[in-house]
A = this chain, B = another copy of it.
Amino acid sequence: MINEYYKEMTGKGSVIREFFTYANARAAEIGKENIVNFSLGNPSVPTPQEFTDYMKELLENEDPVALHGYSPTLGKDSTREAIAASLNRRFGMNYGKEHIFPTTGAAGAIAHAVRCVVKEGDEVITFAPYFPEYNPYIEGAGAVLKVVPADIETFQINFDAFLEMMNEKVAAVLINSPNNPSGIVYSTETITRLADILREKQEEYGHEIFLLTDEPYREIVFAGTDSPFVSKFYDNSICCYSFSKSLSLPGERIGYVAVNPKAKDAEYIVPMCGQISRFTGHNCPPSIIQLAVEKVLDITSDLSIYERNADKLYRELTRIGYHIVKPGGTFYMFPRALTDDANEFCWRAAKELNLIIVPSDSFRVPGHFRISYCVTEDVVEQSIPLFEKLYEMYS
């Protein structure tokens, strides 16, 4: 008999996916150019030419048996060394290759990191607004995800609510900065305070509390934004990274776990990831992609359009009257909806204006909507009168 738990789940589509599907169906009816689609977080700029060139070079010059051969269980040594060296150079860290585990994107990274530091029944705390896929990662590790309500004035951490939620069962805290969906980057002040609290609570509870940092947007930070490298502030930390956004490679599934060398039992964590892989059937990211990424660790796609889009949308939407906490990075912003029911608000925008934005509820914040502005500048331009009309509809 098929497993009822997963079967039940197949009926429940994600709300974001519903809006995306609606957008595609509408585009088929009235033409793609008549839909302003802000629903998905797919990079809109190409991968650097260097990546493409190096892929072709590998295919032309390498022995195919070696090139496409099994990756070692813990990933390719040269890739692991190159990632460690790049992080050390850029952030003054002290990673060795033994702290780096290449993964199939941030999804693979978080799925492994969580399993390393929790046991059945433990709690993991995260902060709203948050990426809804955290639920299955945490649940799949046998732990329980607890969500701290958002501070909607700043989208920094709501420390009072966090302190209320802390208890002895908390084995890990998972943060996402720069943040999907708010676009906010946690400040040095926020990270310092978080680290201080975690150290204090470790002492109080007599066990480690790991800080897992989900950082796929680390390279998309706008001018003037304070963007600390979190692992510098707290020893028991594991960085979960993806190249999906920085190199525009979401489909190629490449990222890594970087274990803080100062973490308790740091030397065990990567070998444990290797063991966890055997249970999930993960078995390393693709060999050729590991090798190709090695050569482009210190560069990114041309990400400047995201900042231009952010500036324009923020300027125009606040001019119209929307309330927005100004994003410091990513390609998202998270304005307040003009009514309490974000779901109704977004469906109205979709159905009456062909403007596709997604409601905030699945990020566990009511009354907001997410704009994914990984789109061309023309689309941003096209959206402004629509946002204007939407505002009028609620005035």
In A238-282, which residues have CB < 8 Å from any B CB?
248-253, 264-265, 268-269, 271-272, 274-276, 278-282
Segment from A65-73, A87-95, A177-185, A382-390 that makes contact with B: A65-73
Q: CA A275 – CA B136 in complex, angstroms? A: 9
A252 adjacent to B283 (CB under 8 Å): no
The answer to whether A272 touches B59, judged by C-beta atoms less than 8 angstroms apart, is: no
- Cα(A69)–Cα(B1), bound, Å: 35
Minimal beta-carbon separation of A179 from chain B (angstroms): 20
Residue of B nearest to A272 (CB): B6
Interface size class of A (residues with CB under 8 A): 35 or more
- Known A47-B68, A65-B43, A250-B68; judge A2-B281 contact (CB<8 A): no
* Contact A59-B65, Cβ < 8 Å, known A2-B265, A119-B5: no
Least CB distance, A323 to chain B, in whole angstroms: 31
Selected from B248, B253, B281, the residue in CB contact (under 8 A) with A112 is: B281
Report whether B64 and A248 are in contact in the complex, using a CB–CB cutoff of 8 Å: yes
> Using a CB-CB cutoff of 8 Å, which residues 45-99 of chain A contact chain B?
45-47, 52, 55-56, 59-60, 63-65, 67-71
Indicate with 1 or 0, residue by residue over A119-141, a CB within 8 angstroms of chain B CB atoms.
10000000000000100110110
Q: List 5 A-B contacts (CB under 8 A).
A: A2-B117, A2-B208, A3-B272, A140-B280, A286-B286
